[in-house]
Amino acid sequence: MSEVPEYPLAEKQPQELKSPSGLPFSEITLEAVLQGRVGMNELRTSSEALMRQAEIARAAGRRQLAENLERAAELTRIPEEEILGIYEALRPGRASRAELEQLAVRLERDYQALRTAALVREAARFAGESASRNKLSQTLPAISQSSSARR
């Protein structure tokens, strides 16, 4: 990778980084963790930090990396259980085209995860129709339940 003046962000632009709850990066220290002022949630990356990294990657000519970081930024808005369900659905033979299309619709509707939905639709093009609907229904209960709860 060519030299990128503003990367890594933690060293070159720490003032731009915040935890998901808005805590400035400079306040996330070992001392703060040991004193209980910083919890595990503060150690997660934020959507904003991932989008900034995507901008840097794109400026450096790393289009695919930028797209991956943009999808990662979307995933920060999705509960972990649902991410695991998405992962399972994308495994070969786990979901039909129709089921993957339904998943893509939910990603767009419930989380505004347009890039991730596009990736799921791309996978749907290659999915076999013979995947067991029952198997997927057991795999994705969190997505189905949380989607229903939001309506």
Banded pLDDT at 128 (limits 50, 70, 90): low
C-beta pairs of 129-134 under 8 Å, 24+ apart in sequence: 129/96, 129/97, 129/98, 130/93, 130/96, 131/93, 131/94, 131/95, 131/96, 131/99, 133/96, 133/99
Q: Between residues 102 and 3, which one has the greater pLDDT? A: 102
Domain extent listing, the chain: 1-76, 79-151
In the DSSP assignment, the letter for residue 91 is S
Banded pLDDT at 130 (limits 50, 70, 90): very low
Verdict on whether the full-model pTM lies above 0.75: no
For 54-66, the pLDDT digits (tens) are 999 999 999 999 9
What is the pLDDT of the chain when averaged over all its residues? 84
For 7-47, the pLDDT digits (tens) are 777 778 878 888 888 888 888 889 998 999 888 888 888 89
Calculate mean pLDDT across residues 95-111.
97
